[in-house]
Amino acid sequence: MRYDYTSIGFYTFDCLGRPVGAIPPGGGTQFIEEIEMAVSGAAGAAVIAAAKHGLNCLAVGGVGDDLMADWVLNRLGHFGVDTSTMQRLSGVGTSSSIVLTRADGSRPALHMKGATGAFEITEDMWDQVLDAKVIHIGGVGLMDRMDGAPSARLFQEAKRRGALTTVDVFAAAEKDLDNVVGLLPHTDYFLPSIEEARVLSGREEIEDVARFFLDKGVTCCILTLGENGAYYRHSNGDRFLMPAFDIEMICSCGCGDAFNAGIATGLVRGMDPESMVRFAQATSALNATGLGSQAGVTSFENTLAFTKTRTRASAEHAAALVA
CB 112 within 8 A of CB 31: no
| Nearest by Cα to 246 from 232, 263, 228 | 228
Cis peptide before 19 (omega within 30 of 0): yes
Q: Which residues does 136 contact at the CB level (< 8 Å), separation at least 6?
A: 5, 6, 7, 8, 9, 43, 46, 165, 166, 167, 168, 260, 264
* E strands, 157-297, in order: 164-169, 189-190, 220-224, 230-234, 239-242
Task: State the pLDDT at residue 176.
Answer: 85
Per-10-residue mean pLDDT of the chain, 323 residues long, equals 96 94 90 94 96 98 96 97 97 94 87 93 98 97 94 98 96 84 97 95 96 98 94 97 91 92 98 98 94 90 94 61 57
Helix (H/G/I), strand (E/B), else coil: 132? strand
pLDDT of residue 259: 97
**What is the predicted pLDDT for the residue at 274?**
97
Report pLDDT digits (tens) over 153-199.
999 999 999 999 999 998 777 888 999 999 999 999 999 999 999 99
Determine which helix (DSSP H) or strand (DSSP E) holds 303, and give its type and residue range. helix 300-306
SS3 content of the chain, % helix, strand, coil (to 5): 35, 25, 40
Q: What is the amino acid identity at position 215?
A: D
